[in-house]
Amino acid sequence: MSVPLSYYLALSVVLFFLGAAVNLAFVGFADAFQAVDGQMFVFFAMTVAAAEVAVGLALVVVIFRNRATVYADDLNILKW
């Protein structure tokens, strides 16, 4: 049983307010047109997002090791 494109687009409109609508729209159109391009784009976009999270977590760990706190009010290491 295949999900119709209109369902993908309706869910995409709802998710627009959460920021994940474009990825779902790409997957929906890729499924509707039997193409892999949209799914590959979503895969790479999620890979880049995961890399950004890893870099951010690494920064938090390094700052915690240097200052022994992660409270933003106590940190001045990123100021000029």
pLDDT band for 11, please (50, 70, 90 cuts). confident
For tokens 């920064």, the residue is: 59
pLDDT digits (tens, 9 = 90+) for 15-70: 887 777 788 888 888 989 999 998 999 999 999 999 999 999 999 899 899 888 88
pTM of the model: 0.67
Q: Where are the domains of the chain?
A: 5-74
For the four alpha carbons of 61, 66, 68 and 73, in that order, the dihedral sign comes to negative
Helix H or strand E segment including 57: helix 37-67
pLDDT band for 9, please (50, 70, 90 cuts). confident
